[in-house]
Structure 1
């Protein structure tokens, strides 16, 4: 199997491989026998409209339940193990795994950034494969040639290079000036030039903001 083969299988679900790394079978932290770990996330355009047609939509935790069904079934078909960023504690270290791929980096505001999805990158799950797949070389880190508008984009000053003041963020979202963040997504994420070129729908971001701020 190749990455192209796997992305072909993921395409009908509007998912794609966002990065991966090789794992030493003797290394701790992943299922026994794992040779390659691949991180999966939404593929735009089309992901959010597709998700709303799925049987999980309308019930509790529709995105997580859909992810378990789709990625879990694929893992069974491949003889792999499905791992998810939800369902804890304890939680799998998706942030650390993402950095290890060499295709996702920590941005100046410490949020993860992807070369195609910018600060809108997110993960719906991972596949722990027994096969050692060929992986592409890491591209340059995009933030190295960026003016970093993300550093000054937060109107509440809650997210910047010094870290993330979560209480200040929630307090701002309770105010009228916080409405653009709630309806269109975090202004810091949207300030990234790569995010602006990515076809993520505002409704998608608004849903996750509503789950964060409740």
Structure 2
């Protein structure tokens, strides 16, 4: 592991965050230069796995100050500090419009697949991971910096279930499901995510946003609000990384209020 990767991994561990992978940036990708004029040559993805970051976040002033978007502000404070330390720029999925292509970057940085829940599945972490920011750096990324991450993803779970990562945001009408001829969802026994939703919001046809949103604002929807999406929790991949109830509830409140996806 190079000095840059080691520095990042150590700094992120203090916050419960993880270095999730990265890739070399080509000159024509439009990421430009860093503040001192050097070109961006690598993009490093930073994210969360399970609820490892949760104790650090809830102990922060951002969680307690009562202002909007505490998790985004907490992430930005960490990302901006690391970018300044390394002479780069921090990029965030909530910056926009226009928004940065975090899904495409994630696919380049790690081994991921689409899932029945219109999110990206990680073979080890299932649905229980997300990206908080990316670091555009002038330092070159070496193969050994990310090889251990991709090797772990390839070998940690056999095919046979479904899982995810924040993916395409739904429209008011819902989202059509991708095709699943191969991969974890195609080989998942019984595909329990499709039958776990109390209002059948997920199906092979896609996601019914209206049914989900209406349910969350009823008394019957409180189990989903308090413990997280039941369809998501039904996925067997990475079940050991499921979010803590209070962590899941935090994301569900934001989702129900129309301020983003369910984490």
TM, length-normalised to structure 1: 0.88
**Do 1:109 and 1:162's aligned partners in 2 also have CA atoms closer than 8 Å?**
no
Partner of 1:165: 208
Determine the structure 2 residue equivalent to 1:201: 244
SS in 1 for 2:248: helix
1:111 pairs with 2:119 = yes
Equivalent residue for 1:212?
255
Quote how far apart the aligned CAs of 1:199 are: 5.1
* Cα distance per residue 1:153-206 (max 9 Å; x no partner): 322221233222212110111223321110011112211223421152111110
Match of 2:56 in 1: 50
Q: Counterpart in 2 of 1:146?
A: 188
Distance in 2 between the 1:19 and 1:49 partners? 23
Which of 125, 131, 152 is 2:133 aligned to? Answer: 125
| Inter-partner Cα distance in structure 2 for 1:4 and 1:105 | 28
Q: Is the 8 A contact 2:46 2:132 kept in 1?
A: yes
Partner SS, residue 69 of structure 1 = helix
**1:89-117, CA deviations, whole angstroms, 9 ceiling, x for partnerless residues?**
22112122212223232113321222332
Bigger mean CA offset, 156-165 vs 179-188:
156-165
Contact 1:154-1:160 within 8 A present in 2 as well: no
* In structure 2, distance between residues paired with 1:195 and 1:178: 25
How many residue pairs were aligned? 213
Residue 14 of structure 1 corresponds to 16
Gap regions ≥5 residues in structure 1: none
Further displaced range: 39-48 or 122-131: 39-48
**Is 1:66 aligned to residue 108 of structure 2?**
no
Q: Distance in 2 between matches of 1:55 and 1:47?
A: 15
Aligned partners of 2:45 and 2:131 also within 8 Å: yes
TM-score scaled by length of structure 2: 0.73
Equivalent of 2:219, from 166, 176, 192? 176
CA contact (8 A) 2:46 2:133 kept: yes
Structure 2 residue 104 is matched with structure 1 residue 96: yes
> Higher Cα Rg: structure 1 or 2?
2
* CA distance in 1 between partners of 2:5 and 2:231 (Å): 31
Cα distance change on mapping 1:44 and 1:163 into 2, 3 Å? closer
How far did residue 212 of structure 1 move? Answer: 0.9
* Secondary structure of 2:84's aligned partner: helix
The question of whether the paired residues in 1 share the 8 Å contact of 2:49 and 2:125 is answered with no
Q: Deviations over 1:78-99 (max 9, x none)?
A: 1111000113222112122212
Q: What's the offset of the Cα at 1:77? A: 0.2
Query: Structure 2 regions of 5+ residues with no counterpart?
Result: 34-38, 160-183, 258-263
Q: CA RMSD in A?
A: 2.2
Q: Is 1:76 the counterpart of 2:84 in the alignment?
A: yes
